[in-house]
């Protein structure tokens, strides 16, 4: 997949009406202010920032009466985030690009999905975490964005934000699920070349989505090679019990259970908490039942007269 670059809109000749429309959109977006919930005192938007990167604060389509013809203008504004300067007082106009890519998601402008993900990749290369929500915004465009998401995931490798976006975009569809599982398994087969956080996410996704347990051995091999961040997904014994994965003895059967939010997307993290609780509740219930069976009957004493 060729990495997209900034759209070359400077060469496009705008009619006077189109130029007025572009300026109106840019001016309105520039005045909408900070789009990140909880953002205070001009803090940077970095890893673990705690901002709401998924729910747009505005109905952009209604606010601006957007149509498909506005998509190129919005895309051009979105790319401004990459090369604009950021004054120390963080004026509201600097956030226009974030509003623009959220507006494209609401507009379901699938034709811009590839360029938006190109912007995401460029921001990743600059260590700019503000674009972390872009894959989720592309996923929100609907099933038609699926091939573009999968193409970028295949191109970039097991990127956590793309993995989370694809996980959401599967949305119960069997064909998308099978494609995603196959790519996750392919990534995990190269676990020695991946970041441990990525391997942990891949293991969780396969445990969650691979109902046939066809890739159980690959997961265990990654645990055995100590290339999985167990602080995210738990130790092998606890992990395999949670997902009912058969063991071959390659990895140590330890049962530490810990799930960390920072390295995983919101919805996947919440799903993992549910799985963890179900597993621990079932285990506690089994222990209680076993204790009842093993316990001797309580002695009954007669009252002394």
pLDDT tens digits, 64-118: 999 999 999 999 999 999 888 777 766 778 899 999 999 999 999 999 999 999 9
Q: How confident is the model over 135-175, as pLDDT tens digits?
A: 999 999 999 999 999 999 999 999 999 999 999 999 999 99
DSSP three-state, residue 146: helix
Is it the case that residue 260 has pLDDT exceeding 70?
A: no
Cα 257 to Cα 280: distance, rounded to the nearest angstrom: 9
Do the Cβ atoms of 153 and 187 come closer than 8 Å?
no
- Report the distance separating Cα 277 and Cα 268, nearest Å: 14
Convert the pLDDT of each residue in 202-239 to its tens digit. Answer: 999 999 999 888 999 999 999 999 999 988 888 898 89
Q: Please choose, from the candidates 150, 76, 168, 62, the residue with its C-alpha nearest in 3D space to the C-alpha of residue 107.
A: 62
Q: Flag whether pLDDT at 54 surpasses 90.
A: no
CB contact at 8 A, 75 and 22: no
Q: Over 50: is that where the pLDDT of 27 sits?
A: yes
Query: Which region among 20-29, 93-102, 253-262 has the lowest average model confidence (pLDDT)?
Result: 253-262
The three-state (H, E, C) secondary structure of 7-31, written as one string: CCCCCCCCCHHHHHHHHHHHHHHHC
- Tell which residue, 202, 258, 267, has the closest CA to residue 230: 258
Instruction: Check residue 15 and give its pLDDT.
Output: 81
Q: Is the pLDDT at 2 greater than 60, yes or no?
A: no
Q: If DSSP codes are grouped into helix, strand and coil, which group holds residue 259? A: coil
Q: pLDDT for 266-295, tens place per residue? A: 566 566 556 656 666 666 676 677 776 666
Q: What is the pLDDT of residue 4?
A: 55
Task: Give CA separation, 74 vs 67, 100, 105, in Å.
Answer: 11, 5, 11
Distance CA 230, CA 146 (A): 30
36 contacts 81 by C-beta, under 8 angstroms: no
Q: What is the pLDDT of residues 113-131, one digit of tens each?
A: 999 999 999 999 988 888 9
Q: Which residue has the tokens 């149509």?
A: 67
SS3 for 162? Answer: helix
Please state the separation of Cα 137 from the chain's center in Å: 10
Task: Write down the pLDDT at residue 273.
Answer: 58
Q: How far apart are CA 302 and CA 144, in angstroms?
A: 76
* pLDDT exceeds 90 at position 256: no
Residue with tokens 């909408």: 32
Q: How far apart are CA 76 and CA 150, in angstroms?
A: 24
CA distance 191 to 238: 20
Long-range contacts at 83-90 (CB < 8 A, ≥ 24 apart): 88/42, 89/42, 90/34, 90/42
Look at the block and give the residue holding tokens 């789009």: 35
Nearest to 53 by CA among 115, 119, 138: 138
DSSP letters, 99-137, are: HHHHHHHHHT-GGGHHHHHHHHHHHHHTT-GGGGGHHHH
Task: Provide the 10 A C-beta neighbour count for residue 37.
Answer: 11
35 pLDDT exceeds 50? yes
Task: Give the residue with greater pLDDT, 272 vs 261.
Answer: 272
Distance from C-alpha of 201 to C-alpha of 263, rounded to nearest angstrom: 8
Rounded average pLDDT over 240-245: 89
pTM of the full structure: 0.78
**Which H or E run includes 174?**
helix 174-188
- Residue 250: Cβ within 10 Å count: 13
Determine the pLDDT at residue 49.
46
**What gap in Å lies between CA 251 and CA 254, rounded to an integer?**
9
pLDDT at 254 over 60: yes
Q: What are the domain boundaries of the chain?
A: 9-151, 172-289
């Amino acid at each position: 997949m060729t990495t997209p670059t900034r759209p070359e809109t400077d060469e496009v000749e705008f009619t006077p009406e189109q130029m007025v429309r572009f300026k109106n959109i840019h001016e309105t977006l520039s005045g909408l202010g900070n789009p990140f919930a909880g953002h205070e005192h001009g803090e940077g938007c970095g890893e673990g920032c705690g901002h709401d990167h998924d729910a747009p604060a505005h109905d952009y389509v209604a606010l601006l009466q957007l149509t498909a013809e506005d998509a190129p203008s919005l895309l051009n504004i979105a790319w401004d985030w990459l090369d604009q300067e950021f004054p120390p007082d963080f004026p509201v106009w600097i956030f226009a690009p974030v509003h623009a890519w959220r507006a494209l998601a609401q507009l379901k402008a699938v034709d811009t999905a590839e360029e938006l993900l190109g912007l995401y990749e460029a921001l990743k290369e600059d260590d700019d975490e503000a674009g972390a929500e872009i894959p989720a915004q592309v996923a929100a465009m609907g099933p038609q964005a699926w091939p573009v998401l999968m193409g970028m995931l295949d191109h970039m490798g097991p990127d956590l934000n793309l993995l989370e976006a694809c996980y959401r975009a599967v949305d119960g569809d069997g064909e998308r699920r099978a494609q995603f599982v196959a790519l996750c398994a392919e990534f995990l087969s190269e676990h020695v070349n991946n970041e441990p956080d990525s391997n942990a996410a891949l293991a969780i996704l396969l445990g969650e989505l691979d109902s046939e347990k066809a890739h159980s051995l690959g997961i265990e091999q990654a645990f055995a090679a100590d290339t999985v961040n167990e602080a995210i997904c738990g130790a092998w014994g606890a992990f395999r019990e949670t997902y009912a994965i058969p063991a071959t003895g390659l990895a140590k059967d330890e049962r530490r259970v810990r799930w960390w939010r920072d390295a995983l997307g919101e919805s996947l993290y919440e799903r993992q908490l549910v799985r963890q609780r179900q597993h621990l509740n079932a285990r506690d219930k089994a222990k209680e039942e076993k204790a009842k069976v093993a316990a001797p009957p309580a002695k009954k004493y007669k009252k002394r007269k």
